[in-house]
Structure 1
Amino acid sequence: MGPNPKVSIIIPVYNAASALRRCLDSVLKQEFTDFELLLMDDGSSDESPAILDEYAGKDSRIRLVHKNNSGVSDTRNQALDLARGTYVQFLDADDWIAPEATKLMVRAMEQKKADLVVTDFYRVVGEHVSHKGDIEEDSLMDLQTFAGHMMENPADFYYGVIWNKLYSRQIIEENQIRMDPEVSWCEDFLFNMEYLLHCRGIFALQVPVYYYVKTEGSLVSQGLSITKTVEMKASVFRYYNDFFARVYDPEDYEARRIQIYGFLGAFARDAGAIFFLPGTKRLGRERQNVDMNPQASDTLLTNAYYQRKLLDKYLEPVGQHHDLSNVDLRILLTIAAVNRKTSRRQLAAYAGVSSLLAAASLQKLLQQGYVDTETHLRDRISEGVKQGDLNLRITDKAADLTEDLVSALADYRRAIMAGFTKEEERRYLDLSERAGKNARAALEH
């Protein structure tokens, strides 16, 4: 067995044959590669075991366990006993992740020095998908701040589930945190609350990287009596109440008691993806699309198109996190490249967008404080005046945004140079720069 992987990805599987390949492919084909995949077959009676055997035979990162049925909580616990990664990530076999999911979660965990990363997710209903999230803070939160957000929406899936989070295995093991096999309602939430008590910093990654498809039924449909269900929910509430009593001092706890007790009447408010509500899109249109024609030749035009779409792909998560469009990010990158002084016409041309889009984007960046310029020029921009140069600069407020853009550009560069030797990379960059200078010189004549 080789060195320990960076991430242990855990997937319990029980009769999930219809969706299993989609789930496994999303994990194995993602951009991040330093992981082990713990596939736990919980006594499946359909084709799942055969599918798991097939995949395990093709990828050495897979560790497959066939076991008797013991329920999802015990199955996850057995996987945690086997895990070797620095971090732990969970998936359900009916769901899938975006290609950049684990990469962005690990990057956030390490750059922000967090003990827990929580991400937005996509809720999938049939052919429709909607973006779900709750926290809009960009900075590392302490436990009290995060608990305050959780208290406002106590039954939101965002807080309760484990599949939109990245955990430190060290925290899990040092504190012997495990699922309670006796609880089949909010068992994820109990795990999260116990884990949170040992966290110093929590970071909310405002990028949807997980596709959640709800399939399980109610507690009663699982064979539990009404009496057992009520007892179980009461037990969960007692734990929930105790959690906040431990997070806040007595005075703060008393002041928040009404909010805390709101959990009693709350339901798991996962509203679903309703096709006529704002923010809901047809599945497949929530991300950057690329028109791939297998008959198209590799020409200057097609290659330029693919590289432009690849850059958009890496910019998209940055925009989602900072509530900016790809046009906004292109304008920001252009400002960084032109060394402050430029005209609005040049800004639009270099960014590859219309003057109207460039003006609207620049106004947005100014209003949000990411870009600054002289006051009278800002007034001229807002009034729609076109003439003259703009003396623009990226502000200190954009530091986190700039850091994310640098990471995205590094990912883009690695992708287009995949398989290059160091010498080939150097030659490519040198020749690209020379080609750009030649094009500029030819256009100036």
Structure 2
Amino acid sequence: MPKVSIIIPVYNAEKALRKCIDSILNQEYKDFELLLMDDGSKDSSPSIIDEYAEKDARVRAVHKKNSGVSDTRNMAIDMATGAYLQFLDADDWITPDATKLFVRAIEAADADMVIADFYRVVGEHLSQKGDIDTDRILSRKDYADYMLSNPADYYYGVIWNKFYKKELLDRYKLRMDAELSYCEDFIFNMEYLLHAERIAVVKSPIYYYVKTEGSLVSQNMNLTKIVNMKTNVMQYYDRFYRNVFDEEEYDLRRAQIAGFLIDFAKDDFVIPGTPISKKLGTETVSVQYHPDECDTVFSGNYYRDKLLEYYLKPISIQNDLKAEDLRILLYMHQTANPVTEMMVVDYTKLPLITVVTSLQKLKSRYFIKKYPSCPG
């Protein structure tokens, strides 16, 4: 049986598919199987993968009804016979030494997972992306601390710059959540990490990620679905750190954890600044968007304000914080430069005594490390 199973979900990828497949078949490391999973494509992708399967015995072409990328990956994981799993997206490609470096790293370190740098490709330009600045073997806690510094980065969230043990996936029944269409990779990685003791780092870029535009809002996704998906990710992220660290260790990291939750909650939505917006926590208003309503900058900001309020509510409940506490924390997290109490008052429009009381509470509970200076 092959040592590595390489998995590619394919859906209407005819333009980039050959480049992706060729980069795999030209790998310096040869002991692998390639699972090309056609997820009900309507273009010439099915015939392309059949062509490759006929020419190379390592290639398996699978055709199935469309069910989404997560379900397709899960099917491939079930079919895989390799000891290790490697994933690609059909519009990307890898360096000739990618699989070799993955195998070498995981076996030399007796690791449970490998993470590697990658190239981000935008048009004719590319830039190297990576975040972990050490070659040493990381423990689960080490990795979690590195992730705290930049959790929303693709480096930690995606699966295509990582290398997994099939045995761990099967033993703990780890699979992608087919109900999610947003951040499913990130949740899968966090679930896997709860069972990974040793993580190896490859600082050489091994993957070419082709940047495509898009967000939950630009995809015209149902607002209720956006709220549910984002809330699920935020709750899982918080539970992940509560599982990795004991209570005292978690408390010391509260500020960074809350920073991610707030960043993630407001992602794709502007911070409200129009007269129609209200301070968070003064009331709970349901978000009801009417397609025939006049679309203006004011109405757009209003609905985004309500969504931000909805996202921050579970953070408030989980961390026993009031609406004004989160408002202040959001401002301080966004501001790189030192701030004063009066700057916080000016931004939040809260009374000075409320700001002072909230700041003292946030500092005592490790949400902020340095108390804002008094004016003058």
On whether the aligned pair clears a TM of 0.5, the verdict is yes
- Aligned counterpart for 1:51 among listed residues 48, 69, 83: 48
Using the TM superposition, give the Cα deviation of residue 218 of structure 1 relative to its aligned residue in structure 2, in angstroms. 1.9
Matched, 1:265 2:270: no
- Aligned counterpart for 2:63 among listed residues 56, 61, 66: 66
Equivalent residue runs for 1:200-211 within 5 Å:
200-211=197-208
Residue 152 of structure 1: aligned partner: 149
Distance 1:7 1:239 in 2: 30
Using the TM superposition, give the Cα deviation of residue 216 of structure 1 relative to its aligned residue in structure 2, in angstroms. 5.9
Normalised to the residue count of structure 1, the TM-score between the two structures is 0.58
Matched, 1:194 2:191: yes
Residue 177 of structure 1: aligned partner: 174
Residue 236 of structure 1: aligned partner: 233
Residue 166 of structure 1: aligned partner: 163
User: In structure 2, the residue corresponding to 1:81 is in which secondary structure?
Assistant: helix
User: In structure 2, the residue corresponding to 1:207 is in which secondary structure?
Assistant: coil
Residue 138 of structure 2: aligned partner: 141
Residue 78 of structure 1: aligned partner: 75
Using the TM superposition, give the Cα deviation of residue 68 of structure 1 relative to its aligned residue in structure 2, in angstroms. 0.4
Q: Give deviations 1:376-419, integer Å, cap 9, x for gaps.
A: xxxxxxxxxxxxxxxxxxxxxxxxxxxxxxxxxxxxxxxxxxxx
Q: Which amino acid aligns with 2:128?
A: H
CA contact (8 A) 1:90 1:163 kept: yes
CA contact (8 A) 1:117 1:203 kept: yes
Using the TM superposition, give the Cα deviation of residue 220 of structure 1 relative to its aligned residue in structure 2, in angstroms. 3.4
CA contact (8 A) 1:97 1:209 kept: yes
- Aligned counterpart for 1:130 among listed residues 127, 131, 153: 127
Structure 1 stretches of at least 4 aligned residues deviating more than 4 Å after TM superposition: none
Q: Which amino acid aligns with 2:254?
A: R
Distance 1:215 1:24 in 2: 20
Equivalent residue runs for 1:376-395 within 5 Å:
none
User: In structure 1, the residue corresponding to 2:173 is in which secondary structure?
Assistant: coil
Larger Rg, first or second structure (1 or 2): 1
Matched, 1:8 2:10: no
CA contact (8 A) 2:2 2:31 kept: yes
Q: Which amino acid aligns with 1:263?
A: F
CA contact (8 A) 1:154 1:266 kept: no
Using the TM superposition, give the Cα deviation of residue 70 of structure 1 relative to its aligned residue in structure 2, in angstroms. 0.2
Structure with the bigger percentage of helix: 1
Matched, 1:31 2:53: no
Distance 2:69 2:219 in 1: 13
Unaligned runs of 5+ in 1: 269-445
Distance 1:129 1:154 in 2: 22
Distance 1:131 1:63 in 2: 32
Distance 1:216 1:61 in 2: 33
Q: Give deviations 1:59-82, integer Å, cap 9, x for gaps.
A: 100111100000000000000010
Using the TM superposition, give the Cα deviation of residue 91 of structure 1 relative to its aligned residue in structure 2, in angstroms. 0.2
Report the number of matched residues. Answer: 265
Normalised to the residue count of structure 2, the TM-score between the two structures is 0.69
Equivalent residue runs for 1:358-437 within 5 Å:
none
Q: Give deviations 1:129-163, integer Å, cap 9, x for gaps.
A: 10000001111010001100001111011000000
User: In structure 2, the residue corresponding to 1:220 is in which secondary structure?
Assistant: coil
Q: Give deviations 1:85-132, integer Å, cap 9, x for gaps.
A: 000000000000000000011000000111100000000000001000
CA contact (8 A) 2:234 2:264 kept: no
Distance 2:146 2:10 in 1: 32
Using the TM superposition, give the Cα deviation of residue 267 of structure 1 relative to its aligned residue in structure 2, in angstroms. 5.5
User: In structure 2, the residue corresponding to 1:18 is in which secondary structure?
Assistant: coil
CA RMSD of superposed structures (Å): 1.3
Residue 217 of structure 2: aligned partner: 220
User: In structure 2, the residue corresponding to 1:74 is in which secondary structure?
Assistant: helix
